[in-house]
Chain A
Amino acid sequence: KAGVTQTPRYLIKTRGQQVTLSCSPISGHRSVSWYQQTPGQGLQFLFEYFSETQRNKGNFPGRFSGRQFSNSRSEMNVSTLELGDSALYLCASSSLGPGSVDTEAFFGQGTRLTVV
């Protein structure tokens, strides 16, 4: 069974540009969450999608957005990139829906975004 796949693994962008990151969850998983990991702020929750609906959102500006497709694949978009957006972006998928935590969240290897 394939794991969570995130593409690309590495990305370099210029300030002001926008970027789209992709996450393919484990087959059968309908919940996809996104996290930002930086040395200064640690791991922070961005948002969670289930069946194409955003269920939860973290405390990030509107420049950060996401979506989920009918096949559960998810994309995250960051517009007007800032230097502080440089981070490892992690995606996690799980099989159960909201309100249930009795399942494991499987993480991808992440996309390392560098903004120059």
Chain B
Amino acid sequence: AQSVTQLDSQVPVFEEAPVELRCNYSSSVSVYLFWYVQYPNQGLQLLLKYLSGSTLVKGINGFEAEFNKSQTSFHLRKPSVHISDTAEYFCAGDTGRRALTFGSGTRLQVQP
């Protein structure tokens, strides 16, 4: 079975500082990985996805993630955060069954 682990439940950071949200996955089969963002009282919005190919994936709003097979990680990064990035971020995996397995989420709190 596949599992996705987000190592930090909350990450406080000051505005314009860099941030990294950590995600590790475990799977015995090929995996597709995603990062989603959820704003209060909203659904999920896709930030970026890794399907194959280049291990560095660029997404929307200046976010990027690096797929590391040896460390089974898919950490999300942004070089400079804004207040508007305050939200909950979810890492998710899919083994091709179109059934996403989500991590427990990381609440990013950007402080002025």
Q: Which residues of A contact B (CB under 8 A)?
A: 4, 31, 33, 35, 42-45, 48, 50, 55-56, 58, 90, 92, 94, 98-99, 101-102, 104-110
Cβ contact within 8 Å between B98 and A48? yes
Q: How far is A24 from B43 in the complex, measured between Cα atoms in Å?
A: 14
B99 within 8 A of A: yes
Q: How far is A35 from B90 in the complex, measured between Cα atoms in Å?
A: 14
Q: How far is A109 from B105 in the complex, measured between Cα atoms in Å?
A: 17
Cβ contact within 8 Å between A56 and B97? yes
Main secondary structure of the interface of A (DSSP, over half): strand
Cβ contact within 8 Å between A33 and B43? no
Cβ contact within 8 Å between B102 and A42? yes
Count chain B residues whose beta carbon lies closer than 8 angstroms to a beta carbon of A.
23
A residues near B43, Cβ cutoff 8 Å: 4, 90, 92, 107-110
- Given A101-B32, A107-B44, A108-B43, verify A45-B49 contact (CB < 8 Å): no
B 15-65 contacts with A by CB, 8 A: 32, 36, 41-46, 49, 51
5 further A-B contacts with Cβ under 8 Å, apart from A98-B97, A107-B44, are: A43-B90, A56-B98, A90-B44, A92-B43, A105-B100
Q: Which residues of B contact A (CB under 8 A)?
A: 32, 36, 41-46, 49, 51, 90, 92, 94, 96-105
